[in-house]
């Protein structure tokens, strides 16, 4: 390992480790109380997946390079040098963590474990050691933003097909999917694909909302990478679009980390103030139902149905009740997973793990806690308002023969909305 890289890493430590973070690291390395809160530790019985181990790795090099004892007598305080093995160890335990923060919920010292995780990722990014696929997706997303003027016409052309489908579904030839509409109330930031665009278009149409579709997606692989510059650039495109169109608010589709980035993280990274109200589509749908702007076929689903709280939307953003309110309107047999809300188990697929093929076995193994919860609930339908969670739940379904169907909340709402034909052919659920 070159001296320059060692120096870069030490500079990151100097810049990042303040008194508070130092005490976090120091306490954490002597603790592990949260071990039974982590699905990865429980399913592997391997302490390396815990925050305490990550803290220990970082603290040992801090001691080596930034304390007098460590510099001269490393054995006294378990200080160690930065070398390839140390980087490999840090990589293994950093990019495998889903960032679910369940450990933080159970930490008696209220240590924000995502701060330790972010430091680990910042070091790895500086060392050019990260999952290549996550980096490629992040770069592709930034490229799209830089070339939007060229790509825009193709995107709009592609949406015309969705628009025809929408008109047929809602039985109204005037229904549109507006893009670039200046002065709209809502800028809706959708995931790619009809299940996110068409369902929202149907709901907005029936609520008579003044909305426009964003040219960008909420997914932010710069965030998974731990590269806050890339993550901020990716998120800023949406803020800039909202400014250009002079909308009143930004509504994020069912994307857990995408919502958290826009709502809670972007301002900190960019050091700019976000002038827009940010809401998740779940909040908007619940409001439409309460205000009777959309009407649902109550009790349309009779099969046992449960709800998975995505970590980034629930524990890490505080959205618990809106999806439950919506689902209780549609389903006659709504069952909670145990535990739920802020204590819910991570599905095992977040943090970018879904995109990392080499972690597939680990992801499926550590998802077994979620499998156990679903089995115990007896539910046949599992609803999750996050793409990463849904992909993981589908994989768990196949691997463990759960015999469940997995849906987003939007799919069920669009399907149960009175007056439209079913947007998706799922009304035969019962
Ligand atoms: S996060 Fe909290 S509970 Fe977990 S090991 Fe660190 S100090 Fe202990
Ligand atoms: S954030 Fe989640 S996966 Fe990571 S250590 Fe904590 S509980 Fe485990």
CA distance 379 to 394: 14
Four-way CATH pick for 134-289: 3.90.1200, 3.40.50, 3.30.70, 1.20.5: 3.40.50
Q: Which residue has the CA at smallest separation from atom 6 of ligand 2?
A: 103
pTM value? 0.94
Ligand 2 atom with the smallest distance to the CA of 366 is 3
Q: Which residue has the CA at smallest separation from atom 4 of ligand 1?
A: 34
Question: Does 134-289 match 3-129 at the fold level?
Answer: no
Ligand 2 atom with the smallest distance to the CA of 346 is 2
Cα of 103 vs centre of ligand 1, distance in Å, is 7
Cα of 352 vs centre of ligand 2, distance in Å, is 13
Residue of 27, 34, 101, 116 to test ligand 1 pocket, by largest number of atoms within 8 Å of CB: 34
51 lines ligand 1 (CB under 6 A): yes
109 lines ligand 1 (CB under 6 A): yes
CATH class of segment(s) 3-129: mainly alpha
pLDDT at 428: 46
Per the DSSP assignment, residues forming a β-bridge with 405 are: 381
What is the DSSP code (8-state) at residue 262? I
- Domain range annotation of the chain: 3-129, 134-289
Do strands 305-307 and 277-280 pair parallel, antiparallel, or not at all (unpaired)?
A: unpaired
Cβ atoms of 194 and 162 closer than 8 Å:
yes
Q: Which residue has the CA at smallest separation from atom 7 of ligand 1?
A: 28
Nearest to 177 by CA among 133, 142, 221, 213: 213
Ligand 2 pocket (Cβ < 6 Å) reads 37-38, 40, 50-51, 97-103, 113, 346
CB count in 10 Å sphere of residue 158:
11
SS3 147: coil
Distances (CA, A) of 199 to 203, 220, 253, 273, 386: 6, 22, 10, 31, 15
10-residue mean pLDDT series, the chain (430 residues): 93 95 94 96 96 95 89 78 96 97 96 94 97 96 91 91 93 94 98 91 96 97 96 96 98 97 92 93 98 94 98 98 97 98 98 95 98 98 97 98 98 86 54
Distances (CA, A) of 295 to 285, 329, 418, 423: 11, 10, 6, 15
């Amino acid at each position: 390992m070159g001296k320059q890289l060692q120096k870069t890493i030490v500079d990151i430590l100097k810049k990042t480790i303040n008194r508070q973070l130092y005490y976090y690291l120091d306490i954490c390395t002597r603790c592990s109380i949260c071990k039974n809160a982590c699905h990865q530790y429980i399913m592997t019985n391997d302490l390396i997946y815990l925050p305490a181990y990550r803290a220990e790795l970082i603290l040992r090099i801090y001691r080596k390079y930034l304390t007098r004892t460590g510099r001269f007598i490393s054995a006294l305080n378990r200080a160690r040098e930065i070398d390839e093995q140390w980087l490999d160890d840090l990589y293994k335990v950093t990019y495998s963590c889903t960032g679910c923060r369940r450990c933080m919920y159970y930490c008696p010292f209220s240590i924000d474990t995502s701060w330790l995780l972010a430091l680990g990722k910042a070091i790895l990014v500086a060392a050019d050691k990260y999952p290549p696929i996550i980096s490629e997706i992040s770069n592709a997303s930034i490229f799209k933003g830089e070339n939007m003027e060229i790509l825009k016409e193709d995107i709009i052309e592609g949406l015309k097909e969705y628009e025809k489908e929408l008109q047929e579904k809602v039985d109204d030839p005037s229904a549109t999917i507006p893009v670039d509409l200046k002065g709209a109330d809502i800028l809706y930031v959708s995931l790619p694909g009809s299940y996110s665009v068409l369902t929202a278009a149907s709901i907005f149409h029936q609520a008579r909302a003044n909305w426009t579709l964003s040219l960008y997606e909420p997914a932010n692989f710069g965030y998974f990478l731990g590269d806050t510059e890339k993550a901020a650039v990716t998120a800023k495109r949406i803020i800039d679009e909202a400014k250009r169109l002079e909308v009143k608010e930004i509504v994020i589709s069912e994307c857990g980390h995408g919502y958290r980035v826009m709502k809670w993280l972007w301002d900190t990274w960019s050091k700019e103030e976000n002038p827009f109200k940010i809401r998740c589509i779940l909040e908007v749908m619940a409001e439409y139902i309460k205000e009777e702007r959309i009407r649902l076929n109550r009790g349309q689903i009779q099969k046992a149905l449960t709800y998975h709280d995505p970590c980034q939307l629930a524990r890490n953003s505080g959205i618990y009740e809106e999806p439950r309110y919506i689902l209780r309107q549609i389903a006659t047999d709504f069952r909670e997973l145990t535990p739920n809300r802020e204590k819910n188990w991570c599905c095992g697929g977040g943090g970018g793990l879904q995109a990392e093929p080499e972690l597939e076995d680990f992801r499926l193994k550590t998802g077994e806690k979620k499998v156990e919860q679903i089995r115990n609930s007896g539910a046949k339908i599992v609803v999750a308002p996050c793409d990463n969670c849904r992909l993981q739940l589908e994989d768990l379904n196949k691997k463990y023969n759960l015999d469940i169907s997995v849906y987003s909340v939007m799919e069920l709402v669009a399907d149960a909305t009175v007056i439209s034909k079913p947007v998706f052919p799922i009304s035969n659920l019962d």
